[in-house]
Structure 1
Amino acid sequence: MKKQPKLPFWQVWNVSLGFLGVQFGFALQNANASRILSDLGADLHSLSLFWIVAPLMGLLVQPIVGSASDRTWSRFGRRNPYILFGAIAAALGMAFMPNASIVVAFIAPILFGGVMLALMDAAFNVTMQPFRALVSDMVPSEQRTVGYSVQSLLINIGAVMGSMLPFILTNVIGLENTAQAGEVAPSVIWAFYIGASVLLGSVLWTVFRTKEYPPEEYNAYKGIDAEEVARERAERKSLPQRLAGFFALLVSMPKTMRQLAVVQFFSWFSLFIMWVYTTPAITQHVWGVEAKWFDHDYLATVGEIPAHIAAAKGAAGDWVGIIFAAYSLFAALFSIVLARVAHTIGRKPTYALSLLLGGLGYMSFVLFKGGDATQVNLLITEVTVPSGAVGLMLPMIGVGIAWAAILAMPYAILSDSLPAAKTGVYMGIFNFTIAAPQILSALVAGPILATVFDNQAIYIIMLAGVFMVCGAISVFFVREPETEPETDSGEAAAA
């Protein structure tokens, strides 16, 4: 097997730069989809059912795209065509979703918003899956943790920008951030337009600045028998045969993948709860808005939403963008040292400690309630919020550290255990471990919130913390494949 050359440090960045834009858009969705859907008429306990489209799209799309990109060799590249197509579709979904109210004459806005959410998620998944495989393709094993750490850093830079954008458009540019029932705030609409533009621009940078290896080189670097691959591709298989082959891969997945699946279950069950319920949780717990103001039936009886309720919901929604940006910023900072920490104390201890800190962060949300009005200087502007809102910055440190590890460590551990010829399809199958816990969370979180917690969303955030701690414990049952010594970022830069 021919030794794959190390990449210059900035080429490692180029390979992943498009993920900055993808996460910019994804962060906008995460911080604002519940807000948009609530404004369009979704009940509090039904929010998770709308969000179920995200993991469903991942479950359906990623294995298909992964398998297809494994078999694609064109003059445009192997992964790049899928990355570009997905980015274009995601940008279209971002442009249309916040404008659901304009189609009321043809389709219910809440239904249109759900359809656009599904389109965005399908497109994000078409783009994300080849990006994961692209790093595995282009970055040699000894730079793999550096590669995924850089990807994690760029993801979180994009997330900081995307999460804060509606707040900036409101408090710096001066756009309106309140909305009446059935409409979306102008600040959110324009944020989605800008996000679509950043997404396309960054993906185009990666596509045009990353030259993928031709088949002969790739096979030589990965130790793949080109003739055997050619025979497999030349063989025509019926749909039942293809499905049988897929399930055979599923059954024979590497042991490391099975063990990581348990960790992924607890991690992503928790993350899904955070994305869906942070906005109502802090609106209720910190801003003191009663749960009835998230009830579609109750809103129908009062007609116009009182100004102080609309203002509180708008302010809380903007602050969710700020604290989501904060955890993404902390994740970006931790990503800078993640590879070195993992090299020093080991991947598993780094991963487990990170998840533990995230779990403690979620559980501490309950400590920050209401409080006196406090003026906060955010450098770009000053805002006045309850003191409890300021206190939420502390839990975000742990959540950010956990998020950085979730984005990098499973893939760094997994990639060395995968056969190179089937990296794409196995990365797609690994997405089952992301999608399945989110689907389960979507199905059970709403009923738990309604029946166990009486629609007090702060308590389901605490439940997310319990699951994240369980994830930290399960890391120690993962057996890592043996790998070559990792190269840190400084060595990569000198390569």
Structure 2
Amino acid sequence: MTQMKQKPFLNFWQIWNMCFGFLGIQIGFALQNANTSRIFQTLGADYNNLPILWLAAPITGLIVQPIIGHMSDKTWGKLGRRRPYFLYGALLASAALIIMPNSPTLWFAASMLWIMDASINISMEPFRAFVGDMLPQKQRPKGYGMQTFFIGVGAVSASMLPWMMTNWFEVSNVAPAGEIPDSVKYAFYVGGISYFAAVLWTVISTKEYSPEEIEAFEAYERHLKGIKKGEDHIVADRPVNKFVAHGILWFLAGAILTAFFIGFQLDKQLYILSGGCIVFACIQWTVALLKSKNRINNGFVEVVEDLFAMPNAMRQLAVVQFFSWFALFAMWIYGTAAVTEYHYGSNDPTSLAFAEGADWWGVLSGAYNGFAALAALVIPIIVAKVGQKLAHMINLWIGALGFLSFLVIKDPALLLLSTVGIGFAWASILSLPYSMLSNVLPSNKLGIYMGIFNFFIVLPQILAAAVLGFIISNLLGGEAIYGFAVAGISWFIAGFSVLLVKLPEED
């Protein structure tokens, strides 16, 4: 008989240590998000082509996150279950951060974005599952809240690094055409070192539970719920004929869309959308072939099967995530171009006005992340008053108003007010969906399902890369500022979608 044991509650500093690595991860993401478009434009990219150049990041996450989740679920070594991925991902990401601002050409920078994003995802995905591994259910919201706090602090410091280099250390923020300014280069160097140091702190300071301890904890939780071993696990076994039939439907959809795009000579970026349908069809056919030959004991089949076996609440939250992250990707793509052009009157990367606008966008990025860190302290109070779903809706709608205000406010300094709403929505997106999801995930596949849930962070980014360029260029006059209008509408839709989520405690 399996020994039962209650998972111990951790104190404040233990939770601090286990989440501290997220500070480094967010430093990497913030430098990437705030400066990649600037680097691309400096190396000659037209901002109408920025979405396609950003495509590397979401595609990488789509591939890497479920694979790493599956592998980390099954890894038990000297460093533990999740920590090897923290450490090795940090090594790769730190190296990529140092190399990225030294990119000699646009294609090299796009390649480095791919490598950097893959490395960051190797570190990040297991950190989400780490909270479930280490904390009892009642403490998990605190764990995700602590992660959100470090996300805010890391993003503030990293987003403002180029501005600080210029204004505090008198490092030049302008450079000849085709060269990255020294302020950006030094910011990435500091970020690379900080990333590795923060993750290393978590690796050294936090010891993971052994497989035997994890089993004892799970046995205790099953005992409290009055269920037997295996009853809390989702068994995914989708029939082969469904994979074949649905693959045909997705293939036909992709073929029809491709013919439509070609026939009307629409933007080639839209082929990403039709190509994605065809790729998904091929994935389903591949799974059908492997299952027909009884070759099911591999991560590829398991991830795809689990995708179709998601709990209902997870499916509903996936819709919320989709529209939430579509808005964020629009902001990251068009933030630099919108502020420099609309508020500073320049789209010339070699001009002082563009440099000042790009630096100010970095400050605004730091500001919304700073407000997110403060919001992480306020959101639990809102949740206690109105519940998780209504709190998330309120925060998303406040953020939507923040996006739309960019079109109304002309004074760059007053945009700091806009970032308050964006910060509240950002903090909510990073915590409340995971908190709502924590009670519906099967304990035997926590890593995989965290990776699959991140599909709905990645898929809207791929869609944004496919359609935003077309929408902005052809429907909205080619003005980057309207990317913020699209983002605001998307967050209004996400907020409404939250109300449709059915959580177990509501049954």
Do they superpose with TM above 0.5? yes
Any residues of structure 2 matched to 1:96-111 within 5 Å, and which?
Answer: 96-101=99-104, 109-111=105-107
Give per-residue Cα distances to partners, 1:167-202, cap 9 Å, x unaligned: 000011000001232110000000000000000000
**Residues 66 and 303, structure 2, Cα contact 8 Å, conserved in 1:** no
**Which whole-Å CA distance do the structure 1 matches of 2:141 and 2:42 have between them?**
41
**Which whole-Å CA distance do the structure 1 matches of 2:301 and 2:366 have between them?**
43
Identical pairs, percent: 46
Count the aligned residue pairs: 436
> Residue 330 in 1 paired to residue 333 in 2?
no
Post-superposition offset of 1:245: 2.9
> Residue 171 in 1 paired to residue 167 in 2?
yes
Any residues of structure 2 matched to 1:292-311 within 5 Å, and which?
Answer: 293=348, 305=350, 310-311=351-352
**Residues 323 and 460, structure 2, Cα contact 8 Å, conserved in 1:** yes
Report the 3-state secondary structure (helix = DSSP H, G, I; strand = E; otherwise coil) of the residue aligned with 2:103: helix
Instruction: Compute the RMSD of aligned alpha carbons.
Output: 1.9
> Residue 465 in 1 paired to residue 468 in 2?
no
Match of 2:404 among 363, 370, 374: 363
Give per-residue Cα distances to partners, 1:35-54, cap 9 Å, x unaligned: 00100111111111111111
> Residue 244 in 1 paired to residue 301 in 2?
yes
Report the 3-state secondary structure (helix = DSSP H, G, I; strand = E; otherwise coil) of the residue aligned with 1:446: helix
Match of 2:338 among 281, 300, 307: 281
Q: Counterpart of 1:200? A: 196
**Which whole-Å CA distance do the structure 1 matches of 2:147 and 2:33 have between them?**
19
Report the 3-state secondary structure (helix = DSSP H, G, I; strand = E; otherwise coil) of the residue aligned with 1:187: helix
Match of 2:422 among 387, 390, 399: 399
**Which whole-Å CA distance do the structure 2 matches of 1:84 and 1:481 have between them?**
36
Counterpart residue type for residue 307 of structure 2: L
**Which whole-Å CA distance do the structure 2 matches of 1:318 and 1:253 have between them?**
42
**Which whole-Å CA distance do the structure 2 matches of 1:282 and 1:245 have between them?**
44
Any residues of structure 2 matched to 1:117-132 within 5 Å, and which?
Answer: 117-132=113-128
**Which whole-Å CA distance do the structure 2 matches of 1:478 and 1:20 have between them?**
30
Q: Counterpart of 2:320? A: 263
**Residues 90 and 196, structure 1, Cα contact 8 Å, conserved in 2:** yes
Stretches of structure 2 that go unaligned for 5 or more consecutive residues are: 223-228, 234-293
**Which whole-Å CA distance do the structure 1 matches of 2:342 and 2:77 have between them?**
54
**Residues 67 and 299, structure 2, Cα contact 8 Å, conserved in 1:** no
**Which whole-Å CA distance do the structure 2 matches of 1:246 and 1:117 have between them?**
25
Post-superposition offset of 1:239: 6.5
**Residues 267 and 467, structure 1, Cα contact 8 Å, conserved in 2:** yes
Post-superposition offset of 1:246: 2.5
Q: Report which stretch shifted further, 177-186 or 80-89.
A: 177-186
> Residue 191 in 1 paired to residue 232 in 2?
no
**Residues 149 and 338, structure 1, Cα contact 8 Å, conserved in 2:** no
Report the 3-state secondary structure (helix = DSSP H, G, I; strand = E; otherwise coil) of the residue aligned with 2:173: coil
Counterpart residue type for residue 92 of structure 1: A
Any residues of structure 2 matched to 1:77-156 within 5 Å, and which?
Answer: 77-101=80-104, 109-156=105-152
**Which whole-Å CA distance do the structure 2 matches of 1:44 and 1:480 have between them?**
41
**Which whole-Å CA distance do the structure 2 matches of 1:165 and 1:477 have between them?**
40
**Which whole-Å CA distance do the structure 2 matches of 1:123 and 1:241 have between them?**
23
**Which whole-Å CA distance do the structure 2 matches of 1:22 and 1:94 have between them?**
11
Q: Counterpart of 1:55? A: 58
Give per-residue Cα distances to partners, 1:194-213, cap 9 Å, x unaligned: 00000000000001111000
Match of 1:443 among 458, 466, 472: 466
Match of 1:34 among 31, 34, 37: 37
Calculate the TM-score normalised by the size of structure 1: 0.85
Report the 3-state secondary structure (helix = DSSP H, G, I; strand = E; otherwise coil) of the residue aligned with 2:406: helix
Q: Counterpart of 2:78? A: 75
**Which whole-Å CA distance do the structure 2 matches of 1:187 and 1:239 have between them?**
51
Give per-residue Cα distances to partners, 1:372-422, cap 9 Å, x unaligned: xxxxxxxxxxxxxxxx11110111000000000000011111121111110
Give per-residue Cα distances to partners, 1:338-373, cap 9 Å, x unaligned: 22332332111111111001111101111122xxxx
Give per-residue Cα distances to partners, 1:290-314, cap 9 Å, x unaligned: x5x47xxxxxxxxxx5xxxx10110
> Residue 16 in 1 paired to residue 19 in 2?
yes
**Which whole-Å CA distance do the structure 1 matches of 2:82 and 2:110 have between them?**
29
**Which whole-Å CA distance do the structure 2 matches of 1:241 and 1:439 have between them?**
26
**Which whole-Å CA distance do the structure 2 matches of 1:284 and 1:72 have between them?**
49
Calculate the TM-score normalised by the size of structure 2: 0.83
**Which whole-Å CA distance do the structure 2 matches of 1:127 and 1:244 have between them?**
23
Stretches of structure 1 that go unaligned for 5 or more consecutive residues are: 102-108, 230-236, 295-304, 370-387, 484-495
**Which whole-Å CA distance do the structure 2 matches of 1:411 and 1:84 have between them?**
23
Post-superposition offset of 1:238: 3.7
> Residue 477 in 1 paired to residue 473 in 2?
no
Post-superposition offset of 1:455: 1.8
Post-superposition offset of 1:241: 5.7
Q: Tell me: higher relative CO, structure 1 or 2? Use CA pairs within 8 A at least 6 residues apart.
A: 1
Report the 3-state secondary structure (helix = DSSP H, G, I; strand = E; otherwise coil) of the residue aligned with 2:100: helix
